[in-house]
Structure 1
Amino acid sequence: MKVTAIIPQELIEEAMELSKADTITEALKVALVSYIRSQKLKQIGTSIMSEPLEFKYSAQELRDLNRR
């Protein structure tokens, strides 16, 4: 997809340097993937905070099950 965007040159240069990208497109892809992953992790964290995980077995019970 082609997109026209006005992005400060310094931001592009820093993104390219940090991502070790050879092109602006590659740097933007890396940045977007990273941003999407961080947002998904944040959503998962929020979900876990609102509904904490409950474990069916104790640590010792899991050890015993794994040793069978």
Structure 2
Amino acid sequence: MKVTAIIPDDLISEAMELSKAITITEALKIALISYIRSQKIKELGESILSEPLEFRCTAQELRELNRK
């Protein structure tokens, strides 16, 4: 997709430097992928907080099962 956006030069330069990207497009792709991943992790964390995981076995029981 082709997009026109007005982004400050210093922001692009810093993104390119930190991502080690050669082109602006590559830097923006890396930044967007990173942002999307962080948001998914945040959503997962919120999901776990609202509905905590329940374990049916103790740590010792799991160790014994893994050794079989």
Unaligned stretches of 5+ residues in structure 2: none
Runs of 4+ off more than 6 Å: none
Normalised by the length of structure 1, the TM-score is 0.98
Unaligned stretches of 5+ residues in structure 1: none
1:17 is matched with 17
- CA-CA distance at 1:56 after TM superposition: 1.1
- Looking at structure 1, the residues matched to 8 and 22 of structure 2 have their Cα atoms a distance apart, in angstroms, of 18
| Matched length | 68
- Looking at structure 2, the residues matched to 40 and 5 of structure 1 have their Cα atoms a distance apart, in angstroms, of 25
Q: Deviations over 1:8-62 (max 9, x none)?
A: 0000000000000000000000000000000000000000000000011100100
- Looking at structure 1, the residues matched to 5 and 46 of structure 2 have their Cα atoms a distance apart, in angstroms, of 32
- Looking at structure 2, the residues matched to 31 and 23 of structure 1 have their Cα atoms a distance apart, in angstroms, of 12
Report sequence identity in percent.
76
Normalised by the length of structure 2, the TM-score is 0.98
